[in-house]
Structure 1
Amino acid sequence: MTAAAIPAATRRAVPRWLAEGRALPVAAVLAVLLVVWYAASVWLNEPQSREQLDRAGAPWTAADLVAHAWSMERPVLPAPHQIGVELYESVLNRPIDSRRSLVYHAQVTLSATLAGFAIGVALGILLAIGIVHLRTLDRSLMPWIIASQTIPILAIAPMVVVVLGNLGFTGLLPKAVISGYLSFFPVTIGMVKGLRSPDPLQLDLMRTYSADRAQVFAKLRWPAAVGFLFPSLKVAIALALVGAIVAELPTGAQAGLGARLLTGSYYGQTVQIWAALLMASFLAMLVVGAVGLAERAAVRLRGGRL
């Protein structure tokens, strides 16, 4: 069924991706992924399961082996239903202020993500404006901005934590700085491209009107750059979340998704690790979706349509 054959009232009542028939491919991919995941969990957990069943001394069958592989307390690869149970327990059955709640840890990581995202966006836009308007910065600064992203964040994070800690800055700020370090790059590159996107004829027209740099920026360059800004923001906020999680590892944080991952690795709680990873994925979809909503609002304010 095509989108044209669906009544208008129905299209308004259901999500666009469902009304246009895109639900089936998504469901098919999820089904294949679940089948492969369950099969992989049996394959990876089979040696431990076989050993534990043999140790029990009772006869067992292949069905017993599969059931045991899907119910181990510390599996190599947890089955999807085990992760679902852990998410249910740690999200819905724990108080939000409890350290055993994934919502609590997600809030801590989200605060560092948003702070780092704000730092990265502000720095990226300022650098882009300087690079576009000053040729010296374009030639001297842009190569270093590109080179900065070749340094592994895992190598920088401990140094940032130590330096800022010696200066008396602990807690949120070091994580925000590391998060901002990752997120400023796509904003800078996207805004440089956007601010340079106006046609030379348009720039010449502004000069014939005796417009100064500020007027050219406000009335021509910035409106042209908005279309490049929001795609960059979506990448930047995803990187900010990665930076916040990575920053929680060397800081020895007691809260946050990174701390949850670290604790799970220390004690071999693979189910906890996978639940934290899925929670991080949900958080990433939430923040990227929020940027998408902001983009839609900005487009409507400018009189456009998506």
Structure 2
Amino acid sequence: MATMTEAVLKSRLARFRQQGLPVTVMLFAVLLAWYVGAWVLNAPGAIERVLPADGAWTWQDLLAATLAMERPVLPAPHQVALDFWSSLVDWPLDSPRNLLFHVAVTAESTLWGFVMGTALGLFLSVCIVHSRTLDRALLPWIVASQTVPVLAIAPIVLVILGSLGFAGVAPKAVIAMYLCFFPVTVAMVQGLRSPQTIETEMMHTYAATRWQALWLLRLPAALPFLFPALRVGIAAGLVGAMVAELPTGAVAGLGARLLTGSYYGNTIQIWSALVMSALLGLALTSVVALIERLVLRHRSQP
């Protein structure tokens, strides 16, 4: 029994050395660089506004002042962590001061945009694969559409949809869809064309229709191409939803949280919103990765 326990501990230690140790070392290096950057960037402001003007202070006083400023140029990690935690526990969930309130607003727009972008990407990819004319006509414009910055498109889309009576989630979802559909389209075109010639000829031998070949051969073959594109698409959709919240002056959403922090010079609030947006992006991509694992595992079973 003791031998088995020692073997398990050794196995876990070896796994930590291979996977966990590099991540831990990199995390400490990033935190150290962050603290050094906060000290360097905040030092001029601390000397000017916080420390005594007669110069009666030490480097320890300077270090403490740079890491505890109310409106620093670069907040220290512990300041961001404290503001992040305070926004979660000190305010009710329906309060605009609670980050989870803004997460719900942005996540709703992101998910709607992701669903619409995925549906549009699947539709366009099927059309492109089954029509040589659409392949030549659509694909160059699809690629060219991504050369236009979303910051330039967002105000135009919001104004047009607003004039048509669409407000709230719909305009932000459309911007998220604009960023979502491209990776899905490109990946699915490649995936739907991935079956080999012998496989397509076999479908012809069985007198399968074009839609039967699509459903039974092309779509299953495209699944390994689809899910990586979905992970990219949902992350891009989150960016699109946050960008769409900026030109409208929205009062809810992570983009609005960033905007209000910028207006009032509250850099700590900006950084806590950035951390929350990163965590939301990780959560959404992790859900897609979990669905991918379940679908591909079920597909691989006999």
- Give the TM-score taking structure 2 as reference length: 0.94
**Cα offsets for 1:13-53 (capped at 9, x unmatched):** x8x99667411110000000000000000100111011124
What residue number does 2:257 align with?
A: 260
Match of 2:76 in 1: 79
Residue in structure 2 matched with residue 114 of structure 1 by the alignment: 111
Please state if 1:293 is matched with 2:290.
Answer: yes
Aligned match of 1:43: 40
Would the alpha carbon gap of residues 124 and 46 (structure 1) be closer, same or farther in structure 2, given more than 3 Å must change?
same
Q: Distance in 2 between matches of 1:122 and 1:153?
A: 20
* 1:59 alignment partner in structure 2: 56
Q: 1:90 aligns with which of 87, 92, 95?
A: 87
Indicate conservation of the 8 Å contact 2:71/2:265, yes or no: yes
| Alpha-carbon contact 2:51-2:65 (below 8 Å) kept | no
Q: Is the 8 A contact 1:6 1:19 kept in 2?
A: no
Q: Partner of 2:300: helix, strand, or coil? A: coil
- Residue identity over aligned pairs, in percent, reads 52
Select 2:153's aligned residue among 153, 156, 175.
156
Summarize deviations over 1:246-270 as a string: whole Å, max 9, x none: 0000122110000000000000000
Give how far 1:8 is off.
Answer: 6.8
The whole-number CA distance in structure 1 between the counterparts of 2:153 and 2:278 is 24
Q: 1:122-169 CA deviation, whole Å, 9 max, x = no partner? A: 000000000000111100000000000000000000011100000000
The separation in 2 between residues aligned to 1:17 and 1:7, in whole angstroms, is 10
Q: Which residue of 2 aligns with 1:197?
A: 194
1:248 to 222, 237, 245: 245
Instruction: List gaps (5 residues or longer) in structure 2.
Output: none
Which residue is 2:216 aligned to?
A: 219
Normalising by the residue count of structure 1, what TM-score does the alignment of the two structures yield?
0.93
| Cα RMSD (Å) | 2.1
CA contact (8 A) 1:10 1:19 kept: no
Q: How far is the alpha carbon of 1:79 from its aligned partner?
A: 0.3
Structure 1, gaps ≥5 residues long: none
User: In 2, distance between residues paired with 1:220 and 1:129?
Assistant: 13
Counting matched residue pairs gives 298
Alignment of 1:122-137 (within 5 A): 122-137=119-134
Q: Distance in 2 between matches of 1:201 and 1:115?
A: 39
SS in 2 for 1:241: helix
After TM superposition, give the deviation of residue 58 of structure 1 in Å.
6.5
Counterpart position of 1:101 = 98
Match of 2:66 in 1: 69
